[in-house]
Amino acid sequence: MMKKTLSVMVSMFAFAVLAMPADRWIHIRVIESGPDGDRVRINIPLSLAEAVLPTIKVDKLCEGKVKVDGHAFDQVDLRALLEAVSKAQDNQYVTVESKDENVEVAKAGEFLLIKVHENSKGAGRNSGAHKAANTVDVKIPFKVAHALLSGRDNELDVLAAIRALAEYPNLELVTVKDETDNVRIWVDSRNDVD
């Protein structure tokens, strides 16, 4: 009797844990250091995006998929490229260095890393004044990238990407720093930023 009760309780606990929604939040923070000093903080539950996206049918967004006709997709087989990189060893695969900016694309474990660094000299060249260097850091899990490209050739499956994103506990997705703006997009299990 005791064993039966215990097994029922364990089953109920297991069911409760499995049924409990894993609260994952995507956070967007924009801090502008201009005269207005705008600060924007957005916290969206991934489950909300997952529930709402399939219901929206407007223009190029339909059932969580975005049509991207007439873009670089037409010339490059992104899926094949992604597949090849994800199976390759960790390495820096693309390095573009110019006077104005450096671009690096690398693979580190299960992540695709993209770094764009605008040189401060180049940034300040036009105005003559010294400006802070602009940097963009993007970190995308291959699983998410694969999910994003899992639709038709001219589609980005945003819904599938969000579902894939929900599997990662804490993830720094995008960081942009420039002269006036500081943008950060990340995923974690907290529903507030600070």
Partner 1 sequence: MTTGMAVLGGALGILVLGGIAVYNEGAVRVDVREKTGDREHIHLVVPAIVLPVAVRLVPRDKLKDARHDIRPWLPAIKAASEELGRCPDGPLVEVDSNHEHVRIHKLGGSLFIAVDSEDETVLVSFPLEAAADTVSQLAR
**63 to 102: interface string for partner 1, x by CB under 8 A:** ----------------------------------------
**Residue whose CB is less far from partner 1, 6 or 42:** 42
Which of 19, 89, 130, 192 forms a contact with partner 1 (CB under 8 A)? Answer: 192
CB nearer to partner 1: pick between 56 and 96: 56
Helices within 20-58 (DSSP H only): 46-52
User: Least distance in Å: CB of 154 to partner 1?
Assistant: 23
* CB-nearer residue toward partner 1: 37 or 128: 37
Contact 145, 82 (CB under 8 A): yes
Contacting range for partner 1; rule: CB under 8 A; set: 64-72, 80-88, 165-173, 185-193: 185-193
Question: Are 156 and 71 contacting, i.e. CB atoms less than 8 angstroms apart?
Answer: no
**Cα pseudo-dihedral 50, 38, 139, 155, rounded to 10:** 50
Q: Exactly one of 57, 87, 99, 130 binds partner 1 (CB under 8 A); which one?
A: 57
Cα–Cα distance for residue pair 84/149, rounded to 1 Å: 14
Instruction: With CA atoms as reference, report the closest residue to 54 among 44, 43, 45, 65.
Output: 65
Least CB distance to partner 1 at residue 193 (A): 8
Taking CB under 8 A as the rule, which mask of x and - marks residues 14-53 in contact with partner 1?
A: -------x-x-----------xxxxxxxxxxx-xx--xx-
Tokens of 145: 């990238």
Would you call 190 helix, strand, or coil by DSSP? coil
Q: Closest CB to partner 1 among 44 and 82?
A: 44
Return the closest-CA partner of residue 183 out of 25, 31, 42, 35.
31
From 54-62, 92-100, 156-164, 180-188, span contacting partner 1 (CB under 8 A): 54-62
Four-point Cα dihedral 41, 44, 46, 48, nearest 10: -170
Contact footprint for partner 1 (CB under 8 A): 21, 23, 35-45, 47-48, 51-52, 54-58, 191-193
